[in-house]
Structure 1
Amino acid sequence: MSGLIKSSIARKVAMALSGLFLVFFLLQHFTINFTSIFSPDTFNELSHFMGTNPLVQFALQPVLIFGVVFHFIMGFVLEVKNRNARAVKYAKYSGGANASWMSRNMILSGLVILAFLGLHFYDFWIPEMVHKYVEFAPEDPTRYYHELLEKFVSPVRTGIYVLSFVFLALHLWHGFASSFQSVGFNNKFSVGATKFAKVFAIVIPLGFIVVSLVLHFNNNH
């Protein structure tokens, strides 16, 4: 870990790899959530599998939590190191000539996403742990859709989720594309990879927003 913190290249590569890992999880998470708007039964089946499969619960879930923590720690380390490395500040900021808004505010969008993850853990992960390992409640394979629907009754809470996904899009817009460069992906496929990353940064957060709004309005019918 100390070697990662001391080496600028190693920090960027570690940040990129952890980010790519989280992008893969994000796609999987979106795929499951998206089924909730057209097939509650499918959503229940997939959620039940993920919630009861030992490999997912006791191997992949800890790895995911470590990946989230590691990514954000490395993000803060990079931000601090980059700020300290700037011996001379810009005398005048010339708009987007130096860097895009997204690249200059990755730490801001990251903090918003981190706060959102705290809310998401409070809404879903903690109740799930209490249900299974504190209350030892009997497993109900059909409970997941109803529990998901309850979280989007409030327009305020739904609005927070929507806003968080907007910041996620901003974070991905720069972060996903730059991760390919950080791991040395610089060849004839680079342009295509960058375009894919930009499309992903829009489509996936937008999909999450659609799910949030559909669930919210389903509560009012």
Structure 2
Amino acid sequence: MGGLIKSSIARKVAMALSGLFLVFFLLQHFTINFTSIFSEDTFNELSHFMGTNPLVQFVLQPVLIFGVVFHFVMGFILEIKNRNARAVKYAKYNGGANASWMSRNMIYSGLVVLAFLGLHFYDFWVPEMVHKYVDFAPEDPTRYYTELLHRFESPVRTGVYILSFVFLALHLWHGFASSFQSVGFNNKYSVGATKFAKAFSIVIPLGFIIVAIALHFTH
């Protein structure tokens, strides 16, 4: 960790790799959630598998939590290092001429996404842990859809989720595409990879928004 903090290149590579890992999880999470709008049974089956499979619960889930924490810690470190590097400012410096608005404000979109993750953990992960390891409630493979539906009953809560997905799209718009450059992916496929990243940053958050709206109006 000390080496990562000291080396600018190492920090950027670590940030990019953790981000790519989280993008993969985001796609998997979206795939499961999207089934909820057209098949209650499919959503319950997939959720039950993810919630009871030992590999998912005791290996992949801790890795995911570590990945989230690591990504955001590295993001804060990079922001602090970048701000310190810009300590001597030029009178005629124009940040917009050298970088996009989104690239210069990743820390803010990241903070919104982090706050959303806190809400998401409060809404889903904490109740799941209480259900299984505090209340020791009997397993019900059909409970997941009802619990999901309940979370989107409130228009305010639904609106918060929608706004969070908008900020997620903004964060991905720069972060996902730039991660390829950070890990040294620079060849004839670079343009295609960047276009894919931009499309992903729109389609996946939009898909989550559609799910949230559909579940809200299901009530």
Is the TM-score greater than 0.5? yes
Rate the CA distance shift 1:95–1:69 in 2: closer, same or farther, 3 A.
closer
> Which position in structure 2 is the counterpart of 1:214?
214
Q: Amino acid of the residue matched to residue 28 of structure 2?
A: Q
Unmatched tracts of structure 1, length 5 or more:
none
Q: Is the aligned partner of 1:9 residue 2:18?
A: no
| Separation (CA, whole Å) in 1 of partners of 2:189 and 2:38 | 35
Shift of 1:90: 4.1
| Separation (CA, whole Å) in 2 of partners of 1:11 and 1:31 | 30
> Which position in structure 1 is the counterpart of 2:47?
47
Q: Amino acid of the residue matched to residue 131 of structure 1?
A: H
| Separation (CA, whole Å) in 2 of partners of 1:5 and 1:84 | 14
Q: Is the aligned partner of 1:133 residue 2:133?
A: yes
Task: Please state whether the residue corresponding to 2:136 is helix, strand or coil.
Answer: coil
Shift of 1:89: 1.8
**1:119-165, Cα deviation, whole Å (9 max, x unpaired):** 00000000000000000000000000000000000000000000000
| Separation (CA, whole Å) in 1 of partners of 2:115 and 2:140 | 30
TM-score by length of 2: 0.98
Q: Amino acid of the residue matched to residue 39 of structure 1?
A: S
Task: Please state whether the residue corresponding to 2:185 is helix, strand or coil.
Answer: coil
| Separation (CA, whole Å) in 1 of partners of 2:35 and 2:96 | 39
Q: Is the aligned partner of 1:102 residue 2:102?
A: yes
> Which position in structure 2 is the counterpart of 1:194?
194
| Separation (CA, whole Å) in 2 of partners of 1:24 and 1:87 | 36
The number of aligned residues is 219
> Which position in structure 2 is the counterpart of 1:56?
56
Q: Amino acid of the residue matched to residue 194 of structure 2?
A: T
Shift of 1:96: 3.3
Shift of 1:95: 6.8
Q: Amino acid of the residue matched to residue 206 of structure 1?
A: L
Shift of 1:97: 1.7
> Which position in structure 1 is the counterpart of 2:143?
143
What aligned pairs does 1:139-178 form with structure 2 within 5 A after superposition?
Answer: 139-178=139-178
Once the two structures are aligned, what percentage of the paired residues are identical?
Answer: 88
Unmatched tracts of structure 2, length 5 or more:
none
| Separation (CA, whole Å) in 2 of partners of 1:90 and 1:128 | 52
| Separation (CA, whole Å) in 2 of partners of 1:103 and 1:95 | 10
> Which position in structure 2 is the counterpart of 1:120?
120
C-alpha RMSD over aligned residues: 0.9
> Which position in structure 2 is the counterpart of 1:25?
25
TM-score by length of 1: 0.97
What aligned pairs does 1:75-86 form with structure 2 within 5 A after superposition?
Answer: 75-86=75-86
Shift of 1:93: 5.5
Shift of 1:86: 1.4
Q: Amino acid of the residue matched to residue 81 of structure 1?
A: K
